[in-house]
């Protein structure tokens, strides 16, 4: 919080005189997530930061899914200019952009620190932007999503055989891993997950972090909440802006969007995890079984994942390039911590 206030104060001081001369703008943003949940509120927090540093001259109006367009239409709608901007996980675009699954839906992903370091100081953001250039979209990493839980299940998962015949809501490449064990998978928009699970359209569902899952009421339907989120490591939500709209902003306004997004990531990075543990305590008190997949299950899924990686690499060379870039960057960071590790002291 101290960092965020300092960042905003610096921005206000540096930009205030220039903003007075700039035309005030309000960006309409179609969100893939309800503003009643953490993910949607995150976009509103960015708008608040923009207003603070621009003296009210730059802001965003965030629309819930369906108010302007359906949640899964953000990429095409921002590209065409039907809406000027969208707020979404990049993973929703995995069927269109091969590298998208690396940005929020990567099984057995590196740590959050490695992911964000690669995004901002490695090749990550540049590789994604190059894929979005053909759609006329500017991408801004703008929110922090920690590693998610493994999902909600109506039965215990004691071996990979328990996935046989299971119908599950799951996004990204993790779905292909579960398909290897006989599960049927589908991607369902966030505002439809509760009904899909309640009405038996799926037997299990992963959607988000405990705070968001709890707000959706998933604990009312399924009692087994499994960790870890092998299918989806740490990632971020994106502010996607039509390139023509972005080009129409002044250098100062563009810098304010960049700064507000960075400030939002930092704020969430330091606050999100403690809140998830508080929610887990509440869920346990409600009778939810918070469990871990066995090491044997995780080992078998990791083996299946390696096969999926090779298939994806062969089908989409751009994915292979980006995947290797991320893993090489992560290995560099891991080596640093290996060198710095201390012996366990009891």
CATH number at residue 245: 3.40.190.170
Evaluate whether 181 touches 204 at the Cβ level (below 8 Å).
Answer: no
> Binding site for Na(+): which residues?
207
Instruction: Read off the pLDDT of each residue in 56-66 and give the average, rounded to a whole number.
Output: 97
Identify the CA nearest to 14 among candidates 54, 58, 45: 54
104 falls within a domain: yes
Instruction: Read off the pLDDT of each residue in 278-283 and give the average, rounded to a whole number.
Output: 96
211 falls within a domain: no
Evaluate whether 222 touches 205 at the Cβ level (below 8 Å).
Answer: yes
- Residue 41 has which token pair? 């509120």
Angle, to 10 degrees, between the axis of helix 251-285 and the axis of helix 38-54? 150
Helix (H, G, I), strand (E, B) or coil at 103: coil
Evaluate whether 182 touches 276 at the Cβ level (below 8 Å).
Answer: no
207 falls within a domain: no
Containing structural domain, residue 39: 2-146+233-275
User: For the chain, how many structural domains are there in total?
Assistant: 1
How far apart CA 96 and CA 75 sit, in angstroms, is 9
Per residue in 178-210, pLDDT (tens digit) is 999 999 999 888 889 999 999 999 999 999 999
48 falls within a domain: yes
Helix (H, G, I), strand (E, B) or coil at 278: helix
pTM greater than the 0.85 cutoff: yes
- Residue 21 has which token pair? 């001369």
Strands 85-89 and 235-242: antiparallel
Tell me phi and psi for residue 26, to 5 degrees. Answer: -125, 120
Element (H, E) at 205: strand 204-205
How far apart CA 305 and CA 180 sit, in angstroms, is 9
Evaluate whether 272 touches 166 at the Cβ level (below 8 Å).
Answer: no
pLDDT at 22: 55
188 falls within a domain: no
Whether the per-residue pLDDT at 250 is higher than 80: the answer is: yes
Whether the per-residue pLDDT at 110 is higher than 90: the answer is: yes
- Residue 142 has which token pair? 């703008």
Burial of 287 (0-12, 13-18, 19+ CB in 10 A): exposed
Element (H, E) at 327: helix 317-340
Per residue in 8-43, pLDDT (tens digit) is 544 444 444 344 445 789 999 999 999 999 999 999
> Binding site for substrate: which residues?
148, 169, 206, 232
99 falls within a domain: yes
215 falls within a domain: no
> Binding site: which residues?
148, 169, 206-207, 232
Whether the per-residue pLDDT at 229 is higher than 70: the answer is: yes
Per residue in 289-345, pLDDT (tens digit) is 999 999 999 999 999 999 999 999 999 999 999 999 999 999 999 999 999 999 877
191 falls within a domain: no
pLDDT at 5: 47
């Amino acid at each position: 919080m101290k960092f965020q206030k300092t960042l905003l104060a610096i921005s206000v001081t540096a930009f205030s005189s220039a903003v007075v001369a700039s035309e005030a703008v309000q960006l309409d943003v179609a969100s893939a997530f309800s503003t009643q949940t953490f993910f949607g509120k995150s976009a509103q927090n960015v708008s608040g930061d923009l207003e603070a540093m621009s003296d009210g001259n730059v802001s965003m109006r965030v629309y819930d899914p369906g108010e302007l367009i359906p949640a899964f239409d953000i990429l095409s709608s921002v590209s065409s200019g039907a809406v000027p901007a969208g707020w979404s996980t990049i993973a929703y675009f995995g069927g269109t952009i091969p590298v998208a699954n690396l940005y929020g839906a990567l099984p057995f992903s590196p740590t959050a620190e490695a992911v964000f370091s690669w995004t901002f100081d490695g090749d990550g953001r540049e590789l994604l932007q190059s894929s979005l250039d053909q759609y006329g979209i500017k991408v801004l990493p703008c929110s922090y999503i920690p590693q998610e839980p493994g999902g909600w299940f109506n039965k215990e998962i004691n071996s990979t055989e328990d996935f046989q015949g299971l119908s599950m809501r799951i996004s990204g490449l993790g779905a292909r891993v579960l398909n290897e064990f006989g599960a049927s998978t589908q991607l369902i928009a966030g505002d439809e997950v509760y009904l899909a699970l309640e009405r038996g359209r799926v037997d299990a569902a992963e959607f988000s972090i405990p705070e968001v899952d709890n707000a959706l009421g998933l604990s009312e339907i399924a009692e087994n909440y499994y960790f870890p989120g092998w299918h989806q490591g740490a990632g971020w939500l994106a502010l996607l802006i039509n390139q023509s709209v972005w080009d129409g902003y002044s250098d100062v306004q563009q810098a304010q969007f960049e700064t507000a997004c960075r400030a939002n990531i930092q704020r969430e990075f330091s606050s999100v995890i403690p809140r998830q543990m508080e929610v887990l305590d509440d869920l346990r008190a409600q009778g939810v079984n918070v469990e871990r997949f066995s090491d044997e299950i995780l080992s078998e899924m990791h083996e299946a994942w390696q096969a999926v990686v090779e298939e994806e690499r062969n089908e989409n060379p751009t994915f292979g390039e980006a995947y290797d870039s991320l893993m090489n960057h992560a290995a560099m960071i891991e080596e640093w911590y290996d060198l710095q590790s201390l012996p366990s002291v009891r």
